[in-house]
Amino acid sequence: MLIHFSSSCTCPPSSSYFLGRLSNSRPPYWECPLKPRTHFFKSLSSSSSSTNAKFLYPPARRVDFRSGAFSGFDFGSVESVLEAVGVLTAIIVVHESGHFLAASLQGIHVSKFAVGFGPILAKFNSNNVEYSIRAFPLGGFVGFPDNDPDSDIPDDDEDLLKNRPILDRVIVISAGVVANIIFAYAIIFTQVLSVGLPVQEAFSGVLIPEVRAFSAASRDGLLPGDVILAIDGIELPKTGPGVVSQVVDIIKKNPKRNVFLKVERGNQDIEIRVTPDENLDGTGKIGVQLSPNVKIAKVRPNNLFEALNYSGKEFWGLSYNVLDSLKQTFMNFSQSASKVSGPVAIIAVGAEVARSTVDGLYEFAALLNLNLAVINLLPLPALDGGSLALILLEAVRGGKKLPLELEQRIMSSGIMFVILLGLFLIVRDTLNLEFIKDLL
């Protein structure tokens, strides 16, 4: 989803890298439109108003921003791109501010605070700290003068980060993660108070949001907004995990053969016969987008207690999704590795979300924060978790640090790996941009 570059050669412990994963499991013959989702689901048996509705977070459900990431990105309008970059930059600033404040409040020397990486566009100095904005707002870093040869601070100064007790260093290194977790909750809480949370209620059938021109569906009379209630005499239930796949499977198995659909159009139920075209692999296709048939309403809290309750449930729901997605990535790495995306992809997805609704942008920002927090805790070199692992090893060794040369070699190798991976993802995701594909 994102590569978060932190380029501070003077401060490996504060460097923060972020590798995210987009769930992009849609098959090539159908696609779902982007819709705002929430972890609050009204009980289907509940007939009460939204303020009294029962809400449930289904553990198996996963947030899925359907970006088309691996079949072609579309940045869309400049405004939506700027909104996505703004969200990403704010998340980076919050993460690095966590490191910065944790160090400053403990009296630890800090030499640099940078937003972005690459060439410096603007900078100023205050209280012996260089604050800078750099050319590419896709990362950031906090620099410490610990191993800076140009620093005039004595090497044995007790306020250098490397000379502080283990607990002080743990607080500084983990503060970025804590800041992102708090920011994620704050975003959700703001959403609850300002626009409310979207609530989905499922209905029978499968919705057709879009019909492609000159497709079998267009030729045989299907229209956007139609709802497929039955296919070949099989009634479709209320939206479930397999209802869309059920329709797709039948269409795939019947190329150039009639498929009979019972369709709800407005207040009428009509019968439509569709003859799927044949793909190169011999499967059928009709050229439509399919999505679960859900209606979305907004729920707003009546008081502060409800706002905190709603925000807490949404926060834990999103957290579960992030952790579950990470677990699935490691358990099925060979299949999921291709779904790891870089900064170009995340901006493209963010731009699409921004063009959709403000609800999606809130959830998108919260998810990025939680992804950054979780990924940074992994015990890998160049991540915050890697630095924490070295400190833990130091504690196990009775306070004896690893040789400085070995520690720098470990961190440098991790940084190099992340940079190379980031460059690969940037190139791959850039080649997937729609206007780049058109040029090629």
Cα–Cα–Cα angle for 196, 202, 205, nearest 5°? 145
Is 264 a residue of the active site?
Answer: no
Gyration radius (Cα) of the chain, Å: 25
N-to-C CA span, the chain: 24
**AA identity, residue 79:** E
Contact 36, 198 (CB under 8 A): yes
Active-site residue, selected from the candidate residues 83, 96, 363, 407: 96
Residue at token pair 């709802």: 227
Looking at 39-165, list the stretches that DSSP marks H as alpha helix, in order from N- to C-terminal side: 78-105
C-alpha to C-alpha distance for 18 and 213, rounded to whole angstroms: 40
CA distance 440 to 432: 10
Separation between Cα atoms, residue 262 and residue 283, nearest integer Å: 22
CA distance 30 to 212: 11
Structural tokens at position 115: 């937003």
Mark out the alpha helices in 163-237 (DSSP H runs): 166-194, 216-220
Asked if 227 and 211 touch (Cβ cutoff 8 Å), the reply is no
Comparing CA positions, the residue from 390, 425, 408, 197 lying closest to residue 310 is 197
Q: Is 348 exposed, middle or buried (0-12, 13-18, 19+ CB in 10 A)?
A: buried
SS3 (DSSP) at 204: strand
Q: What is the DSSP string of 268-316?
A: EEEEEEE--EE-TTS-EE--EEEEEEEEEEEE--SSHHHHHHHHHHHHH
CA distance 212 to 207: 14
The angle subtended at Cα 428 by Cα 361 and Cα 66, nearest 5°, is: 30
Annotated catalytic residues are 96
